[in-house]
Amino acid sequence: MFYKSTFKKIYLLFFLTMILTFVYYFFLNVAKADPLYSQNGENKIVDFGSDFGSRQLSVSIEERGKGKISVKKSFSSYCRYDLSGFEEIVMINSTLKISNSANAVEISGAVGAHGENRQYFILDENLCPKPLAFVKNNNIIYNVYSDQPSFKVEDFNQDGWQDIAAEYRDYDRNPLIDGRRDIYLLDPKNQQFIFLLTENYQQEIVCPECQNGVK
């Protein structure tokens, strides 16, 4: 009886060891190889609107300045898009409604000592990530930058759609107080952000002595 009990324990221990070994190598060679596994980024379930539903999304940096955004289409099918303009890390923020049936996801990452880069993606008909363009003076870019960083997402022209403004310090004046704001209006028909204007503004003064110069 003692030998049978010992044999069962050894068999159970061997069986558990095999299972743990399989799980470890599965994670190492399959799960970690999944493009949605990220150490320098983030994974989230994102609602892309009624046309696409919720999808698993990943953003990651593979080397400084280069990264990928990946959408999981099925258990083993993915669609990717190369990222640029980010440095060491990139994060998934909120979603922005850009039509009656589609949302864009906002991603962001620190750039330089204080700046931040933001980009917006939708899904195309193949469930692949597609960047939304920012159009300014006939130039097309796919990110918006702020050196403060400070961004505003609001309906600037009261058309029912959220627009985007990026704010910058005005180094020709007092950069602790004075700034410039670039406003981009959402064009839901063409799914673009169109530059409207640059306006000057002053931040709320947090220290009276800052009015006379940079401290």
Q: pLDDT digit string (tens) for 49-66?
A: 998 999 999 999 987 778
d(CA 38, CA 109): 15
Asked whether residue 198 is assigned to any structural domain, the reply reads no
Q: Count Cα atoms within 13 angstroms, Cβ side, for 94.
A: 5
Asked whether residue 89 is assigned to any structural domain, the reply reads no
- Tell me the pLDDT tens digit for each residue of 96-135: 999 989 999 999 999 888 899 999 999 999 999 999 999 9
Asked whether residue 18 is assigned to any structural domain, the reply reads yes
Asked whether residue 206 is assigned to any structural domain, the reply reads no
Asked whether residue 17 is assigned to any structural domain, the reply reads yes
Asked whether residue 73 is assigned to any structural domain, the reply reads no
11 burial level (CB within 10 Å; 0-12, 13-18, 19+): exposed
d(CA 215, CA 177): 12
d(CA 185, CA 157): 8
d(CA 95, CA 60): 18
What percent of the chain has a predicted confidence (pLDDT) above 90? 59
Q: Is the peptide bond before 208 cis (omega within 30 degrees of 0)?
A: no
Q: What is the pTM of this model?
A: 0.78
Residue 30 clears pLDDT 80, i.e. is over it: no
Residue 191 clears pLDDT 60, i.e. is over it: yes
- Total domains in the chain come to 1
Name the E strands within 30-175.
41-47, 54-63, 66-72, 78-84, 91-97, 103-111, 115-123, 129-131, 133-136, 139-141, 144-146, 151-154, 163-169
Asked whether residue 205 is assigned to any structural domain, the reply reads no
Specify the higher pLDDT residue, 45 or 31: 45
Asked whether residue 156 is assigned to any structural domain, the reply reads no
Question: Domain residues for 12?
Answer: 1-33
Please give the structure tokens belonging to residue 78: 């993915």
Instruction: State the pairing for strand pair 192-202/133-136.
Output: parallel
